[in-house]
């Protein structure tokens, strides 16, 4: 009797479709001592919107293509219910001379609850690696120009996901919060900046940052931010080889703001004795600092994204899968945001491997 029962259980396990083992399934969780990799290469097409920031830089309506996007995700099953993971993303956009890491996360996911009828609840938390590289760019009278995609801030994500599998279909919903911590991990080139300074006996004179004692590059104290993402994911296993997926994600990006200047200023030296004689150094520098901080105290550069995604996957071998994906993003950007678009679309391929 025991042998008959054991054989029946074993046959039922072998006969059951291993849809949860598909890496594109939103409820996928690696088994203990199992490792996986998801490597994506994509290309994005964008048309900039007519925000004030784009108009000031004469970039409204401009096309950016190709924008190359690379992404790597690694995961390891510490137990059947606990996973360690890392996610890194890189973007390269020649049209605006901007490149760098756009995502960096390292953390843990725990399956808090799971039932035999396919319901699962996960909780997760990870370190936000925005501080690995400082934010770099230049500031001029027509606005800020970014060199990379980092905000220079460290932080953490905390989130949860619930989902259920019905036969071949899986649906899941997630919500996560990103908290970043303000710092001065940034380098901003101000050599192109001109400030209108009142000079005794000469009226208002435009002076460069260097003439007013500023170093070529300054750092500012950025405030902390709280952002959040939420979304729905669906997945359908057509057969043992083919599967498809679709999703919707909402991302809220908060306005950046500056609390103060973190760099020390030098002595004023305009190179013109008449100007030097008409300037009160402390007053002139304070006027510049006040003007600069008033401009960036509330940068009004936040934006919201509404992302629709589709994918199709084919299981090449028991351990290797290839996925083709596409994303289209609608957004609502504040007037000083340089992330607003009229068109934003990405297509790419992903290779998933289980070790």
Distance CA 229, CA 126 (A): 14
Residues in a beta bridge with 311: 245, 325
Whole-number pLDDT of residue 274: 67
pLDDT tens over the chain, length 355 residues: 444 444 444 444 443 344 558 999 999 999 999 999 999 999 999 999 999 999 999 999 999 999 999 999 999 999 999 999 999 999 999 999 999 999 999 999 999 999 999 999 999 999 999 999 999 999 988 989 999 999 999 999 999 999 999 999 999 999 999 999 999 999 999 999 888 887 777 788 888 888 888 999 999 999 999 999 999 999 999 999 999 999 999 999 999 999 999 999 887 777 777 676 666 666 777 878 887 888 888 899 999 999 999 999 999 999 999 999 999 999 999 999 999 999 999 999 999 999 9
Distance CA 194, CA 206 (A): 6
Q: 143, 171, 177: which is closest to 295 by C-alpha?
A: 143
Q: 38, 133, 45, 43: which is closest to 76 by C-alpha?
A: 38
Whole-number pLDDT of residue 281: 62
Whole-number pLDDT of residue 293: 85
CA 66 to chain centre: 19
Question: Strand 303-315 vs strand 320-333: parallel, antiparallel, or unpaired?
Answer: antiparallel
Residues in a beta bridge with 41: 70, 349
Structural domains in the chain, sorted by start: 19-184+219-257+298-354 (2.40.160.40)
The count of residues in the chain is 355
Instruction: Determine contact, residues 31/349, Cβ cutoff 8 Å.
Output: no
Which segments of the chain are extended strands (E)? Answer: 35-48, 63-77, 82-93, 98-114, 119-128, 135-140, 143-146, 155-166, 169-180, 186-189, 194-199, 203-208, 217-218, 220-222, 225-237, 242-253, 258-261, 303-315, 320-333, 341-354
Distance CA 130, CA 2 (A): 57
Distance CA 86, CA 72 (A): 8
Q: 78, 186, 198: which is closest to 134 by C-alpha?
A: 186
Distance CA 34, CA 231 (A): 27
Q: 322, 327, 266, 251: which is closest to 69 by C-alpha?
A: 327
Whole-number pLDDT of residue 282: 61
Residues in a beta bridge with 161: 122, 174
Whole-number pLDDT of residue 329: 98
Whole-number pLDDT of residue 202: 78
Distance CA 270, CA 279 (A): 10
Whole-number pLDDT of residue 2: 44
Cis peptide before 66 (omega within 30 of 0): yes
Which position has the token pair 């849809």? Answer: 19
């Amino acid at each position: 009797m025991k042998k008959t029962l054991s054989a029946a259980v074993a046959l039922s396990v072998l006969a059951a479709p291993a849809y949860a083992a598909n890496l594109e399934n939103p409820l996928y969780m690696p088994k203990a001592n199992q490792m996986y990799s998801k490597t994506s290469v994509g290309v994005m097409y964008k048309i900039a919107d007519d925000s004030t920031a784009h108009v000031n830089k004469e970039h409204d309506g401009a096309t950016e293509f190709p924008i190359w996007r690379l992404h790597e995700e690694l995961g390891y099953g510490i137990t059947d219910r606990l996973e360690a993971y890392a996610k890194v993303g890189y973007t390269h956009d020649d049209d605006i001379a901007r490149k760098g890491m756009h995502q960096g996360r390292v953390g843990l996911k725990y399956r808090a609850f799971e039932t035999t009828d396919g319901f699962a609840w996960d909780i997760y938390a990870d370190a936000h690696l925005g501080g690995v590289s400082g934010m770099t760019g230049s500031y001029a009278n027509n606005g800020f120009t970014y060199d990379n995609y980092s905000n220079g801030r460290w932080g953490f994500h905390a989130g949860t996901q619930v989902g259920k599998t019905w036969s071949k279909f899986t649906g899941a919903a997630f919500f996560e919060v990103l908290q970043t911590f303000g710092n001065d991990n940034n380098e901003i080139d101000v050599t192109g900046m001109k400030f209108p300074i009142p000079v005794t006996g000469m009226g208002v004179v435009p002076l460069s940052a260097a003439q007013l004692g500023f170093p070529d590059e300054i750092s500012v104290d950025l405030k902390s931010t709280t952002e959040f993402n939420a979304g729905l994911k669906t997945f359908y296993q057509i057969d043992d080889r083919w599967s498809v997926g679709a999703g919707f994600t909402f991302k809220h990006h908060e306005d950046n703001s500056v609390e103060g200047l973190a760099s020390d200023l030098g002595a004023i030296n305009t190179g013109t004795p008449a100007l030097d004689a008409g300037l009160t150094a402390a007053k002139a520098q304070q006027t510049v600092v006040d003007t600069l901080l008033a401009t960036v105290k509330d940068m009004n550069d936040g934006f919201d994204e509404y992302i629709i995604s589709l994918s199709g996957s084919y299981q090449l071998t028991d351990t290797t899968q290839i996925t083709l994906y596409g994303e289209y993003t609608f957004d609502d950007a504040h007037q000083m945001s340089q992330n607003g678009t009229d068109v934003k679309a990405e297509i790419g391929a992903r290779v998933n491997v289980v070790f």
